């Protein structure tokens, strides 16, 4: 059952085709030679546009990158991750307040509410909701994908590469293609539900009691692929300090330069 793979231990739950697609989703970083068709791309965007959006603002756009040279340049900006260049399709999801800004400009009305952090959060949240819908849709079509947060390492250079207008910023990328069966990867176990599901009130002590067990599960998973360490080690390393953020510790100032002041 898909639940078993997701939690790393036997687990029973409801099952249908949609749940199977969600619970067996894994990151794919090695792709076969087949291109992603235009019909498939159109379907992924339709699924994305079917996601919830705050007040129907629809504050996102997506740039489909097929050109190998552009994918290569983006891969360098995204931490030299080769799979960005080798994926047949790279989708760059954009938190886009520029559309609303241009609407206000044409109407000759102010749009001061777009200057606030709430609007920036809405832009990023809605972009993520849309992209996740696309990921599930891709899985249902037999396509694999992986999110690329490193697209935020150099947001101004990415904006220039993609010709993004003011008030728009690349939130993350998504490499898409047919999974290469030779890739050594599997469904990665997640924290047990008891660590994330609280009933009525938040109980940190009870939830955190399950972290040590999960560390063991993830260590065993990692060992299968020649990796070491568990979840706690990864979290502490990733959030240790500004030096561990790959240049994103200055993101607030960068957002302001790109037209999202977030005050």
- Per-residue pLDDT band for 167 (boundaries 50, 70, 90) equals very high
Residue 259 lies in a domain: no
pLDDT (tens digit per residue) in 232-257: 999 999 999 999 999 999 999 999 99
Residue 252 lies in a domain: no
Residue 136 lies in a domain: yes
Q: In the predicted model, is pLDDT for residue 106 greater than 70?
A: yes
pLDDT (tens digit per residue) in 4-44: 778 877 766 777 888 888 888 899 999 999 999 999 999 99
Q: In the predicted model, is pLDDT for residue 159 greater than 70?
A: yes
Contacts of 57 (CB under 8 A, 6+ apart): 100, 122, 126
| Residues 172, 194 within the same domain | no
Model pLDDT, residue 24: 87
| Residues 155, 202 within the same domain | no
| Residues 166, 201 within the same domain | no
- The Cα 36–Cα 34 span in angstroms is 7
Structural domain count, the chain: 2
| Residues 129, 237 within the same domain | no
Q: In the predicted model, is pLDDT for residue 137 greater than 60?
A: yes
Q: What is the mean pLDDT of residues 56-80?
A: 98
CB contact at 8 A, 83 and 26: no
What is the domain extent for residue 67?
Answer: 24-179
Residue 107 lies in a domain: yes
CB contact at 8 A, 141 and 43: yes
| Residues 40, 162 within the same domain | yes
Model pLDDT, residue 11: 64
Residue 3 lies in a domain: no
Model pLDDT, residue 4: 77
Residue 4 lies in a domain: no
| Residues 171, 197 within the same domain | no
Domain boundary among 123, 150, 179: 179
- The Cα 90–Cα 65 span in angstroms is 5
| Residues 35, 105 within the same domain | yes
| Residues 158, 91 within the same domain | yes
| Residues 112, 149 within the same domain | yes
The chain-wide mean pLDDT, for the chain, equals 94
Q: DSSP letter for 27, please.
A: B
Residue 260 lies in a domain: no
CATH code assigned at 118 = 3.40.109.10
Contacts of 234 (CB under 8 A, 6+ apart): none
Q: What is the mean pLDDT of residues 164-172?
A: 98
- Per-residue pLDDT band for 1 (boundaries 50, 70, 90) equals low
Q: In the predicted model, is pLDDT for residue 116 greater than 80?
A: yes
| Residues 117, 196 within the same domain | no
Domain boundary among 179, 211, 227: 179
Q: In the predicted model, is pLDDT for residue 3 greater than 70?
A: no
| Residues 34, 117 within the same domain | yes
Model pLDDT, residue 15: 79
Which secondary structure element, helix H or strand E, spans residue 172, and what is its range? strand 168-177
| Residues 45, 168 within the same domain | yes
Residue 257 lies in a domain: no
């Amino acid at each position: 059952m898909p639940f078993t793979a997701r939690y790393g231990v036997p687990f029973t739950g409801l099952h249908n085709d949609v749940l199977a697609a969600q619970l067996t989703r894994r990151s794919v970083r090695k792709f076969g030679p087949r291109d992603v068709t235009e019909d498939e791309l159109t379907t992924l965007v339709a699924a994305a546009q079917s996601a919830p959006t705050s007040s129907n603002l629809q504050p996102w756009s997506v740039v489909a990158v097929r050109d190998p040279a552009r994918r290569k340049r983006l891969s360098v900006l995204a931490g030299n991750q080769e799979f960005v260049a080798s994926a047949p399709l790279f989708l760059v999801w954009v938190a886009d307040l520029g559309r609303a800004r241009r609407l206000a400009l044409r109407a000759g009305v102010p749009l001061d509410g777009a200057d606030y952090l709430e609007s920036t959060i809405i832009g990023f949240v809605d972009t993520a909701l849309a992209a996740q819908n696309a990921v599930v849709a891709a899985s249902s079509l037999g396509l694999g994908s992986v999110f690329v947060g490193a697209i935020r390492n150099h947001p101004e250079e990415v904006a220039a590469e993609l010709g993004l207008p003011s008030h728009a910023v690349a939130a993350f990328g998504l490499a898409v293609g047919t999974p290469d069966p030779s890739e050594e990867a599997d469904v990665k176990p997640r924290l047990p539900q008891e660590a994330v599901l609280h009933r009525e009130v938040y109980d940190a002590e009870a939830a955190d009691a399950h972290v040590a067990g999960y560390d063991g599960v993830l260590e065993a998973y990692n060992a299968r692929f020649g990796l070491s360490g568990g979840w706690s080690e990864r979290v502490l390393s990733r959030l240790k300090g500004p030096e561990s953020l790959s240049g994103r510790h200055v993101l607030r100032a960068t957002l302001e330069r790109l037209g999202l002041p977030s005050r």
